[in-house]
Amino acid sequence: MPTVMRRYAGGEGRFDRPSGKGDPDRGGPVVLMVSGGADSTALLVLAATSTLDIDDGRGVARIARERLHVLHVNHGLRGLDAEEDEEFVRELSARYGIPCTVERVNVAELAKRARKQGDAAQGNVENAGREVRYAAAARLANELAEEFGVPRSAARILTAHTADDRAETFFMNAIRGTGPAGLSSIPRRRNRIVRPLIDYTHDQLCDLLRMRGIVWREDDTNHDTRYLRAFVRHEVMPVARQRNPRVAASLATTCDILSDEDAFLNQLASRTYRDLVRRENEGTVALDADRLAALEVALARRVVRKALLAACPGARLEARHVANVLTLVAAGRGSCTVPVDVDVRVEFGLLIVRAPDTAPQRAAAWLEVPGRLELDGGRALVARMAAVPAGSRAPEVALAHGREWEGRSVLLDAAAAGVDPVQGGRLWVDGLQPGDLMCPLGMHGQSKKLSDLLAEAHVPVADRAGVPVVRVSATGPVVWVAGIRADERVKVSADTKVMLELTLE
């Protein structure tokens, strides 16, 4: 979505940046998110004239003026009022000598496009506006950190959320339905985002501005109770205050407790998740389903959520999606699909979560002997020729080799596999084909379907297409199902002169 960003200088008509680039004692840039309303106006005023704790290790202290930078995002939703909000913020920033960046975004059009693409969350104008604001703040913080010569983590993004906002968000999330994280409401800090006014009420900040003779802008949409926040603010909070005039402070304490407990459970879930992971790569996660089923449900929910987000970070999860996965885990088998077409299966004792478009690709190429064939996922098939060591019995050498490599490498009879013992040759590598049969080593010539062989080896259905199958030729018999089993007809015998070594790396 096209945006327009403009930077305006502070009161001196220029950007003041301190010398001594990279000085660790100076601190990183501080981005103030200012809409022009009472709360954000108070944030700007307090940051410029008083002390705040922005969680940068300095405690409650004055913020060096050269660290400050105002960001205003014009959503283009309120016509002339939006233009006047922008002008107000620019003038207020100039009054205090603080540079100001204005970003203009057509949020209504952005939300409309999201709805057309089926993204209901981003199709909500409020949600789209929030995403735009935080994305703009992150970009600006990164740019300023580079100008300051400090790590991005040294930057701070300050928002003007108050105790009232926190209480309202608590009720909003409770109305929608949520878990401990939602009931924790607005955290005091999340990474670089800090909320130094979280213990103030809106009325306190308004009183502070009146005492200093500072006006602010009012957004009429704040009174439109069609929006959930406005409904909670004007319909729910007044009723709650009749019972407890200090309801905002009381809920702040509740939110702090829930936030601490949620953080603890998240740490525990992270450790448990790492213990249960059996395979994890881009787009795919496999967990020990049996151990997951034995967990307390509160912990299991969080572990499942982590697995889903690890496989597909963009998935928008609801409680019912996690519950569906836990139902499969409890049953020990089955499959389902969660948002963004994430495939979830429980089979062979594993919970497998796979994002769309991450199914393994079937190989289809010649493997030169000797030679190497690169496969998907960073794997490779390697072929070598080896003579039987003098004084050794070929079958015993092959058996010891297979045990040492645990099936990932085999020694076969080169001639029986169709490879010239002197000049070498080539083998065809592809994947499982319908109706494929082989005579698995150890079954004394009995045939078996490859699909049955893979099932007995506990290879998940979704992974079977990625198992390399080595053949004598494109239409010839199977030599080796890589990592699973060789064919009885190409095994090393007492008459073998030259061995073919195949290894799956």
pTM above 0.85, yes or no: no
Amino acid identity of 52?
Answer: L
CA–CA separation, 150 and 23 (whole Å): 8
Q: How far is CA 18 from CA 27, 28, 67, 148, 373, in A?
A: 11, 11, 9, 8, 57
Intervals of CATH 3.40.50.620 along the chain = 3-162+187-221
Which CATH class name applies to 282-354?
alpha beta
Cα 72 from Cα 108, distance rounded (Å): 17
Instruction: Of 43, 36, 88, give the one whose Cα is nearest residue 68.
Output: 43
Cα distance between residue 404 and residue 252, in whole Å: 61
Half-sphere exposure of 490 (CA within 13 A, CB side): 28
Q: Which residues pair with 366 in a beta bridge?
A: 428
Where are the domain boundaries for CATH 3.30.465.60 in the chain? 282-354
Q: Where in the chain is the domain with CATH 3.50.40.10?
A: 365-504
CATH topology of domain 365-504: Phenylalanyl-tRNA Synthetase; Chain B, domain 3 (3.50.40)
pLDDT in tens, the chain (505 residues): 445 667 676 654 344 454 445 454 568 999 999 999 999 999 999 999 999 999 988 899 999 999 999 999 998 877 888 899 999 999 999 999 999 999 998 888 877 777 776 665 555 777 888 889 999 999 999 999 999 999 999 999 999 999 999 999 999 999 988 888 889 999 999 999 999 999 999 999 999 999 999 999 987 777 888 888 899 999 999 999 999 999 999 999 999 999 999 999 999 999 999 999 988 877 889 999 999 999 999 999 999 999 999 988 877 788 888 999 999 999 998 888 887 778 898 988 889 898 876 655 556 788 999 999 888 767 889 999 988 888 889 899 999 898 888 888 999 999 999 898 888 899 998 888 878 899 998 887 788 888 888 888 887 777 777 789 999 988 889 999 988 899 999 999 988 989 999 999 8
284 alpha-carbon distance from chain centroid: 13
**SS3 sequence of 473-484:** CCCCCEEEECCC
Give Cβ neighbours of residue 425 (< 8 Å, ≥ 6 apart): 369, 418, 419
Write down the CATH superfamily of domain 3-162+187-221: HUPs (3.40.50.620)
